[in-house]
Amino acid sequence: MTGWDIDPAGVHSVLSKTGTAAKNLSDAHSAMQDNLREAADAAGTLTSQYGPYTSTAGKVGSALAQFLQHWSPDLLYIAKRASNSLHGADQATVEYVKGDLEQAANAQHTAAQEPKIDMPGKGGTGHRTHGGSS
């Protein structure tokens, strides 16, 4: 592979800044999960007025749970894709510095593959499940 002209210090700077942003995104996702669960709990329950007196999640709590269930796979996909991209750029730069352009190209190719996200629970997979490495 010819035509590579990489500034390793520049790559390190960009990866550092991007890594910080990715961590902030991950922290926001974790906080969102916690906050949505707390909000769902605080929204109350529906209780049958006729026996047996059982409670189920209220409409607001159910909507929040559905929102979290729908968007969590996509947010996990973004996090995994960002992680793979950062790692791939780092590995490609390391190989470039060593003079191994073939390995640099391989690292770049691997980083570009579609990540597989497995979600816990029924069925075991989220929205993004096709191709790539994890």
| SS3 call for 63 | helix
The predicted structure's pLDDT at residue 49: 65
Specify the pTM: 0.63
The predicted structure's pLDDT at residue 134: 39
Handedness of CA 132, 73, 128, 17 (dihedral sign): negative
pLDDT for 8-66, tens place per residue? 999 999 999 999 998 888 888 889 888 988 888 888 776 666 656 656 678 888 888 88
Read off φ and ψ for residue 58, nearest 5 degrees: -75, 180
Which ranges of the chain does DSSP label H, i.e. alpha helix?
A: 8-42, 59-98, 101-111
Q: What is the dihedral of CA 27, 28, 31, 33, to 10 degrees?
A: -110
Alpha carbons 78 and 88: distance in angstroms, whole number: 15
